[in-house]
Amino acid sequence: MGGRETALKALVTGGGGFLGQAIVRGLLDQGAGVRSFSRNEHAELRVLGVEQARGDLADAAAVSAAVRGCDAVFHVAARPGIWGDYTAYHQANVTGTGNVIAACRRHGVQRLIYTSSPSVVFDGRDMEGVDESVPYARHYEAHYPRTKALAEQAVLAANDAQLATVSLRPHLIWGPGDNHLLPRLVARAQAGQLRRIGSRPNLIDTIFVDNAAEAHLLAAERLRPGSPIAGKVYFISQGEPVPMWDMVNRLLHAAGAPPVTRTVPVWLAMALAWGFEAAHRITGNLEEPRLTRFVVRELSTAHWFDISAARRDLGYAPRISITAGLEQLRVALQAKQSPGKV
């Protein structure tokens, strides 16, 4: 997307979000014209001079209007989380993705880059060094991975001679600007509510936000109808698996929060999760329980992935290491807490 393609016009759904903003900044650095589609307007995008279209993914007309005039679409927006009403997840993640695909066809867009998740293949057991051949899970314990799997399958099935599609699966995105993972960890650590689950040093993959954004841009550069990456899916990560709780504590340290030192056995955590979930279902509480079975399995198993396909086909290599990313995160958080001082 450099050189002769500097006139590219790209739509980023969820452009005001954590990963979305990183992709937007990367596109702007390459000289692309960028439009964002979100439910709300974002001051950060206004400062960058980004055109902002507002609407809901489930609104086909709003999605179509946002896609009109674009050459490529980065579909990043989704309903996140691990608890809530299934219909809301389906409308945002499945219906919304269908609307994006339909709008790309209606307006002749040839490139659709979709942000998926490794959770679409997570079956609750260890996943160590698996590649893209691993099948979708047969059972899901949360609406997010279930609906993301359906959406990803729709994106891949949409690939044809007119519309080229590709799906990326970044795992545990972190870095400056994180408004989801890190704030939750910090809040629970400061409240004394975080516990290690199990005693195994289970390895996990993560990815620094700017590395994740670069992978999306690399995919867009190589994506065309009939190109080798069209219709394919790719795991992307730091490529350096680390013990789960070591990484959690390194993130907490960067945020100036206390480390996790206490441990509960997996069986006890699972029993508590069952109880919390049951109480929420009985009372109709749509707020996320303090602990769920999905979270217990995520925190007590290994999940790291073979990213050789992304290295080979996308030219992806994580430029920012975990150590360097953590330092960027520490500096950014310190600056946020003490404006004008670092």
Span 92-113, pLDDT tens digits: 999 999 999 999 999 999 999 9
The tokens of 172 are what?
């545990």
Tell me if 14 is assigned to some domain.
Answer: yes
The domain total for the chain is 1
Confidence at 19, pLDDT banded by 50, 70, 90: very high
Is 274 inside a domain boundary?
no
Q: Catalytic annotation on 114? A: no
Beta bridge partners of 111: 72, 164
Average pLDDT, the chain: 92
**Phi/psi at 173 (5° precision):** -75, 135
The better pLDDT of the pair 111, 6 is held by 111
263 within a domain of the structure (yes/no): no
Given a cut of 80, is residue 325 above it in pLDDT? Answer: yes
Q: How far apart are CA 243 and CA 31, in angstroms?
A: 39
Q: What band does 293 get if pLDDT is binned at 50, 70 and 90? A: confident
Q: Does 257 reside within a domain?
A: no
Contact (CB, 8 A) for 186 and 133: no
pLDDT > 90? residue 337:
no
**Euclidean distance between CA atoms 74 and 218, whole angstroms:** 12
pLDDT in tens, 218-246: 999 999 999 999 999 999 999 999 999 99
Q: Which of 114, 144, 234, 316 is catalytic?
A: 144
Could you read off the pLDDT of 22-36 as tens digits, one per residue?
A: 999 999 999 999 999
Dist CA 1 CA 235 (whole Å): 22
- pTM of the predicted structure, to 2 decimals: 0.93
Quote the pLDDT of residue 175: 95
Task: Tell whether the torsion through CA atoms of 291, 292, 293 and 297 is positive or negative.
Answer: negative
For residue 88, being part of any structural domain is answered with yes
Structure confidence at residue 7 (pLDDT): 62
Single-letter amino acid, residue 119: S
The pLDDT value given to residue 2: 44
Q: Is 269 within a domain?
A: no
For 22-54, give the DSSP string: HHHHHHHHTT-EEEEEESS--HHHHHHT-EEEE
Q: Give the pLDDT confidence of 240-272 residue by residue, as tens digits.
A: 999 999 999 999 999 999 999 999 998 898 899
Residue span of the structural domain in which 67 resides: 3-178+205-241+303-329
Determine, yes or no, domain membership for 200.
no
The domain spanning residue 18 has which CATH number?
3.40.50.720
Residue 215 located in a structural domain: yes
